Amino acid sequence: MPEVLSAPLIVEFPFTRSTGPVLGAFLTGLRERVVLGIRGSDGRVLCPPAEYDPVTAAELTELVVLPDTGTVTTWAWNPRPRPFQPLDTPFGWALVRLDGADTALLHALDAPAPDSGDPCAVRTGLRVRVRWAAERSGAITDIACFESLPAEEQTS
């Protein structure tokens, strides 16, 4: 049986992608610290915006300005962050429905661990707000993560 050889193999993708009008507008918004949604065929607001309605496939063009606050619709707690994830201390993953939107956006949530007794801890229904990255370039990472609104702004 020959010696089992091994060698490191690093694969890097430095792709630059064109964004098109809808994602381009959305990312422009993020760069300028504005969250944009888009109106779907049935009038519901999608955030993140979609180029085509997920049900009717109609081309969507009506952007909607949204506040930077929202509600957690589901979550997970990540005790051991992995490479390239948004934070390097334990954090929550969350689907956040921005106020005024009817769909949710996935991102990291920097908040106390669930069941810590803290009113601002990660949970479904938590009220949250965008924490903007200090340096923004027009990417989803212009949102550094979400963070809890203060305790007095949390619903029970």
Footprint (CB under 8 A) of other proteins, residues 111-130: 114, 124
3-state secondary structure 90-133: CEEEEEEEECCCCCCEEEEEECCCCCCCCCCCCCCCCEEEEEEC
Dihedral-angle region of residue 33 (phi above 0 means left; psi in -120 to 50 means alpha; beta otherwise): left
CB of 152 to other proteins, least distance (A): 24
Rounded Cα distance between 120 and 2, Å, is 57
**104-112, 127-135, 147-155 -> range binding other proteins (CB under 8 A):** 104-112
CB of 151 to other proteins, least distance (A): 21
Confirm or reject binding of residue 133 to other proteins (CB under 8 A).
no
Residue with tokens 């607001």: 45
Q: 10-69: which residues touch other proteins (CB under 8 A)?
A: 10-25, 27-29, 31-34, 36, 46-48, 50, 54, 61-65
CB of 78 to other proteins, least distance (A): 5
